[in-house]
């Protein structure tokens, strides 16, 4: 099975393309990007890494984290 990976980019929030959860602020987006830099395959994020950041660090429900993940993936095509 191929693993889906994302490229975190805060511009989709800056321009209002996606409504952001109150926890996804520009500051937290910067933190997500900095954390992502420490992971292999930068600039792409795996679901496992995104889920850890979204659910464990930002306290976003897993279902919503998955919706964001799928939405970001659809923008990359």
Residues 6+ positions from 55 with CB-CB distance below 8 Å: 61, 62, 65
Which uninterrupted H or E stretch holds 45?
A: strand 45-46
User: What average pLDDT does the segment 47-53 reach?
Assistant: 89
* Model pTM score: 0.65
Model confidence over 5-43: pLDDT tens digits?
A: 666 666 665 655 556 678 877 788 788 888 888 877 777
User: What average pLDDT does the segment 58-73 reach?
Assistant: 88
List the domain boundaries for the chain.
Answer: 5-75
- CA torsion sign for 59, 16, 69, 28 is negative
């Amino acid at each position: 099975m191929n693993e889906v990976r994302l490229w975190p980019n805060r511009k989709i929030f800056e321009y209002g393309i996606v409504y952001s959860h109150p926890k996804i602020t520009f500051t937290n987006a910067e933190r997500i990007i900095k954390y992502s830099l420490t992971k292999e395959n930068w600039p792409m994020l795996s679901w496992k890494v995104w889920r850890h950041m979204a659910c464990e660090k930002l306290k976003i429900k897993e279902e919503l984290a998955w919706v964001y993940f799928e939405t970001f993936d659809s923008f990359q095509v």
